[in-house]
Amino acid sequence: MAQLGDALINFIYSAARSRVLKKPSGVKVPDRILSKALFMASPEKTPRRLGLGGRGDLVEAEIAEAWLNGQITVDEAIELVARHLKPEDFYTRREEEEAAAKAIAALLLEVRKRADEGRD
């Protein structure tokens, strides 16, 4: 599931980044950003014993599962991530990483909210 999620999150973030910057952009989202997003979304639930790669895999798998279950579309995910990014977030790598983590954390929270609503 994480392998599919890896491709999805890279596409979602690249498309959102392209939309915000108004130019094509293809990037790979590093595990450190995914790990930070996981912590931002649920600090109390973030497994401390897992390394960056393991935490990144958790985020990727959660996004892939939500997409496969029809809880979020790729277009919705791109729009949500893009709403949390601004052109000035891309002035430095550090600023972009912080903004990317916040945007992906917002995506994770939305995915979890929809998953919870689906269980009711």
- Identity of residue 26: G
CA distance 76 to 53: 26
Domain range for residue 96? 2-119
What does the pLDDT look like over 21-77, one tens digit per residue? Answer: 999 999 999 999 999 999 999 988 888 888 989 999 999 999 999 999 999 999 999
Q: What is the reported pTM?
A: 0.93
Tally of domains in the chain: 1
CA distance 102 to 78: 14
CA distance 66 to 94: 29
- Identity of residue 52: L
CATH of the domain at 58: 1.10.1520.20
3-state secondary structure of 23: coil
pLDDT at 107 over 90: yes
CA distance 99 to 102: 5
